[in-house]
Copies of this chain bind each other. A is one copy, B any other.
């Protein structure tokens, strides 16, 4: 039976220090991603992940205290993949260019593995995971960009950031779902929505 967990159910169990361990963890994460993509949330289970990783179920539990920890780690992995590109947006000379760079990064990430990205987004709202997941990189970067002087001033920057993030995610998600491949066209539509939103929501100077 599922006894009460003896360790935090979400923190990774051990830092893989040896290279072999690191490879196992990586294999498990990639397997988790693939199972999620192939079988969806309802087909996602620890046995399937271990099997696909070519690792015993016991080993999975060596590195992850449970199913949710696996998902959380996957979220972090994808978050970090994204960070490399997203941070770069802050170096842009203008806010508009930064925003474009951010959109490009988000679109690229989302379209690369659309199903995975979508399902992780869904999981992200589960209370159990939401608590653990630290506030997204995107959110913080986006807020900074929105404060650049060349962009229309927003009354509530955090709110605007939330709205824009939701829009980027949903537009790329549906594009991904429908198999769109024309990235520039998708970016144009996202720009339209975002800059349209920012312009029309511009707050008069105080």
Contacts and interface: CB of A to CB of B under 8 A. Distances in A.
A191 interface: yes
Given A167-B171, A171-B166, A195 B200 contact: yes
Contacts of A163: 171, 174, 189, 193
A57 interface: no
A84 interface: no
Contact of A178 (B40, B162, B191, B195): B162
Contact of A201 (B9, B192, B201): B192
Interface string A7-37: 0010000000000000000000000000000
Interface of A: 1-3, 5, 9, 40-43, 65-68, 118, 122, 125-127, 162-163, 166-167, 169-171, 173-174, 177-178, 188-189, 191-197, 199-201
Given A2-B65, A2-B66, A166-B171, 9 more contacts: A1-B66, A2-B67, A166-B174, A167-B170, A167-B171, A169-B170, A192-B197, A192-B200, A196-B199
Closest CB pairs A-B (n = 10): A196-B196, A170-B170, A192-B200, A166-B170, A193-B197, A166-B174, A192-B197, A1-B67, A192-B201, A2-B66
